[in-house]
Amino acid sequence: MLGNSEGLFFCSIIKYLSYFCAMKGFEIILKYFPDLSEKQIKQFEQLFDLYVEWNAQINVISRKDIDELYTRHVLHSLATVSYTHLTLPTIYSV
């Protein structure tokens, strides 16, 4: 059984690995959508932390999918926008 400090350390490692995996997924967004503005890029980067925070409270997406947020959720949504030739909307933070 892990002690409190060990448990916190383990949770920090897991959170870092999840963030790292998600950011690798974010690179795919930039590959397929290279014309994103700096503001849009920053907003998409902030999206992961928002999903982690809200997902812990109301289960927005499957917890096993959080590492794949950008590839399984964001990229799919952007592909729809790209397919319909719509302009990417501004993302507003809550």
Give the mean pLDDT of 54-70: 85
Residue 85 sits in which domain range? Answer: 25-94
Q: How confident is the model at residue 44 (pLDDT cuts 50, 70, 90)?
A: confident
Q: Is residue 15 part of a domain?
A: no
Q: Which of the two residues, 80 and 57, has the higher pLDDT score?
A: 57
Q: Is residue 93 part of a domain?
A: yes
Could you tell me how many residues make up the chain?
Answer: 94
Q: Is residue 78 part of a domain?
A: yes
Cβ atoms of 68 and 25 closer than 8 Å: yes
Q: How confident is the model at residue 10 (pLDDT cuts 50, 70, 90)?
A: very low
Q: Is residue 70 part of a domain?
A: yes
Q: How confident is the model at residue 13 (pLDDT cuts 50, 70, 90)?
A: very low
Q: How many structural domains is the chain composed of?
A: 1
pLDDT at 15: 57
Q: Is residue 20 part of a domain?
A: no
Q: Is residue 77 part of a domain?
A: yes
Cβ atoms of 18 and 64 closer than 8 Å: no
Give CA–CA dist 52/47, Å, rounded. 9
